[in-house]
Amino acid sequence: MVHRTSPRTHFRVGDIELSHPYIALLEIATLLEHDEIVIAIDSLVSRDPPLRDASLEKIRETAEIFGAVWGARALRDALGDARANTDSPGETRTRLLLQRAGFPEPVLNHPVRDPDTNRLRYLDLAYPELGIALEYDGDYHRLTTEQKRKDQGRLDSLHSIGWNIRMLNAEDIKQPERVLDALRRTFVSVGAPTPPTSNWSGSAGKRLGRSLRPPKSA
């Protein structure tokens, strides 16, 4: 017989009692759509997690222990699509978009040595065996000319050692046909199998975009 220790449900910050993050996931699972729950889980098990010992397995155990609680089923369903080691909601939405379009699941935050600086760079979503990667371009990347210059320099360095990197942003996720067509051509150029364009062309692409669209407040 396996005995599980019941997870901590609350903790105090000063005079304020707060739900433990795993319990908070159960609570918000009743309010959010599937992809939003996946994003919330991914954020807890990110590359720089807010909880030092957070893991998908511990979240799964919480969902099982509180299985009768409203929200547990939605949380368990979302855990099937959640992954550790991501960095942002945009990366999660991009990964889900690629998988639903029929592309293989990419490696998250794949480390590559920059030939110019010798620093490790982390590609958001990568297919290392193909030398193909996607970088999600959040709004913060466009704040300054200096940041643009640094980003372009980083891309040039990685291009010089054979990486083919595609950029995308929130609008590409809402209307994914262009970026998925480009990615498919990139796969073809290296002799890799590709999903059919019918997976995302026309109304199929609009459905993919709607399913991944962030709420207006995001």
Rounded Cα distance between 97 and 85, Å, is 17
4 is a domain residue: no
191 is a domain residue: yes
187 is a domain residue: yes
5 is a domain residue: no
Reading the block at residue 149, the tokens are 């210059």
Total of domains in the chain: 2
* Same domain, yes or no: 48 and 147: no
25 is a domain residue: yes
Domain boundary among 79, 101, 131: 79
Predicted local distance difference test score (pLDDT) of residue 156: 93
Predicted local distance difference test score (pLDDT) of residue 31: 93
H-helix or E-strand spanning residue 19: strand 16-19
Pick the closest to residue 22 from 68, 97, 79 (CA basis): 79
Residues in the chain: 218
Q: What is the CATH number of the domain that holds 104?
A: 3.40.960.10
Core vs surface per residue 158-168: b (16+ CB within 10 A) or e: beeeebbbbbb
Task: Give tens-digit pLDDT for 86-107.
Answer: 999 999 999 999 999 999 999 9
* Same domain, yes or no: 53 and 130: no
Q: Is the pLDDT of residue 45 over 70?
A: yes
3 is a domain residue: no
Rounded Cα distance between 128 and 201, Å, is 27
Domain boundary among 55, 79, 103: 79
Predicted local distance difference test score (pLDDT) of residue 1: 42
CB atoms within 10 A of CB 60: 17
84 is a domain residue: no
* Same domain, yes or no: 21 and 70: yes
What sign has the CA pseudo-torsion 124, 125, 127, 132? negative
Going by C-beta distance under 8 Å and a sequence separation of 6 or more, which residues neighbour residue 151? 141
Rounded Cα distance between 36 and 59, Å, is 16
Are 77 and 31 within 8 A, CB to CB?
no
Predicted local distance difference test score (pLDDT) of residue 181: 97
149 is a domain residue: yes
Domain boundaries, position 38: 10-79
Pick the closest to residue 143 from 135, 155, 151 (CA basis): 151
* Same domain, yes or no: 135 and 203: yes
CB atoms within 10 A of CB 20: 15
* Same domain, yes or no: 132 and 200: yes
Domain boundary among 79, 106, 134: 79
Residue 110 phi/psi, 5-degree rounding, is -75, 125
Average pLDDT over residues 59-75: 89
